[in-house]
Amino acid sequence: MWLLAHENHYEGVWSPYIVGELVRVRVLMSRRINPDLSEDVLRNRLNGLVNAFASVLENADYQALPPLAGALPDSDDEPILRTALAGQASFVVSLNTRDFPPGNVAFGVRFITPRDFIELLAPAAQATAQDAGRTVP
């Protein structure tokens, strides 16, 4: 995802709320996969991930939009939809499919998985993947 944004195959947006969600989920996943992972290693990995994405994603002010009560099955995901709307994004890309809205669309924003998103970008992804070893941070 980073590489495709870096190579200008899409323009992505995020917000402080999404950064917080990313860190929270990555910490939980890392703890499940490797409970012995040191705090220093985890912190360095997370900082690297956030810094890499900060170089290719634009910040969208989700708080500038009014609340969208009831728009999503999980109200905690509302700031993510608001981020997409504030950044005029066409998609929300997430592995959290159980909380996608009915029909996978809300307010004109499609909710898709990373695999689906990469398939949409397949021609660009294939060409870029050939160079990945030289470009990925």
At residue 129, the pLDDT reads 60
| Residue in 84, 25, 42, 36 with CA at minimum distance from that of residue 59 | 84
Per-residue pLDDT of 52-110, as tens digits, reads: 999 999 999 999 999 998 899 999 999 999 999 999 999 999 999 999 999 999 999 99
Domain boundaries, the chain: 2-135
Residue type, 91: F
Do 62 and 83 contact (CB within 8 A), yes or no? yes
Per-residue DSSP letter, 77: G
pTM reported for the whole predicted model: 0.84
Between the two ends of the chain, the Cα-to-Cα distance in Å is 12
- Under the banding of pLDDT at 50, 70 and 90, the label for residue 127 is low
Q: Strand 109-112: give its sheet, edge to edge.
A: 91-93, 109-112, 105-106
